[in-house]
Structure formats: structure tokens, C-alpha cells
Amino acid sequence: MQRRQFLALLSGIGLAYTARSFAGTPSAADQVTIMQFSDAGKALGRVTLAKVNKDAEWKKRLSPLAYHVTREQGTEPAFSQPGHDRHEPGLYRCVCCDNALFDSGTKYDSGTGWPSFWQPIAPENVRNIEDRFFGMTRTEVRCTLCDAHLGHVFDDGPKPTGLRYCMNTVALRFVPRP
């Protein structure tokens, strides 16, 4: 193969890839695998879905505080939101995309003023990102399905994991057990 043929072949591959991207076919990078759950907390199985991005809709549908927290990585003031100290049985879903995130069975009172859990409902439903805001290193927790900022995870939690998933109340939608 001569150089011109090789370059033409590369150009063709690049154009085909670009056309495929504009055609709306999600690439592997736009796909995520999560565990789906019923509102009763029963695992329904793993599914691979396209990442959810509805920024214009979220801006209209979410409260200004919920939008700031989930889409702009904000934090609600401690003890400021109703439900931070909720203890009834149920499931906590992402306020943006409805992905199941935490089960009330792993919730505990950390005394921080935010809902705290010692583990997510399924590890694949949340993702951790190193956060270096404010001159310190923390681990940010995001929803895998829509990339909503949920809060942070710390290593000062109770057994069995020793973790404290410190979440923003406005990032979660509580669904009572049916």
C-alpha cells in the first residue's frame, strides 16, 4: 500500500466514524452499566444504557438548589433540608434520572446534617472521582447514569465498610417501601 492510499484509507475511516457520531449512535464511552432495582429494593438485573443528559429539562424541573448541587457540584447547608434524618424503610433514587443509589438499610445517623450511608445499593450505580476543590483531596460521588453530583465518601464510617457516603438530601428522591 502506498502512502497516498494509506492516508486516503485513514481519512475514510475518520469520516465514517464522524458520520456515525453525528448519526446519533451512542459510542461505547456514552454507555454505562448499572444494576436496576424495583421500588421495593429488589435487584432486577444489570443493564447497559446510554448516559442521560437532559440539562435543559433538569434546569426547568429541579429546584434551583437541587440543580446547583447535582449539575454544578454544589453542597446544601448541613441540617437545612427536610429528610436528612429520615429513617423509614425505602430506596433513595437520583433526583435527576431515577437511578437507584442507596437502600435505607445502609443509612445511619452520622450527626453531620446530611444523609449518610455505609454503602451504595450497587457499586456500579455510583462512581467515585478524586475531587481537589478547596485545596484538599476528597472523593466525590456521582450517579453513574447521569453524572449528577451526589456528595462525597469518607473513610470514617461504621462497620462493615468503614465508609461514610455523605450525600446531599436534594440530590436524592426517597421512595418508601411499598
127 CB-contact burial (10 Å; exposed 0-12 / middle 13-18 / buried 19+): middle
The three-state DSSP-derived secondary structure of 68-135 is HHHHHCCCCCCCCCCCCCCCCCEEEEECCCCCEEEEHHHEECCCCCCCEECCCCCHHHEEEEEECHHH
Task: Please name the residue that has the C-alpha cell 453525528.
Answer: 22
Known active-site residue 94? no
And the C-alpha cell for 88?
423509614
Task: Please name the residue that has the C-alpha cell 456500579.
Answer: 124
Catalytic annotation, pick one of 94, 97, 146, 166 = 166
Phi-psi region of 124 (alpha: psi -120 to 50; beta: other; left: phi over 0): alpha
Beta-bridge partner residues of 116: 108, 166
Is 115 within 8 Å of 103 (Cβ atoms)?
A: no
* Longest Cα–Cα distance in the chain: 71
Active site residues: 166
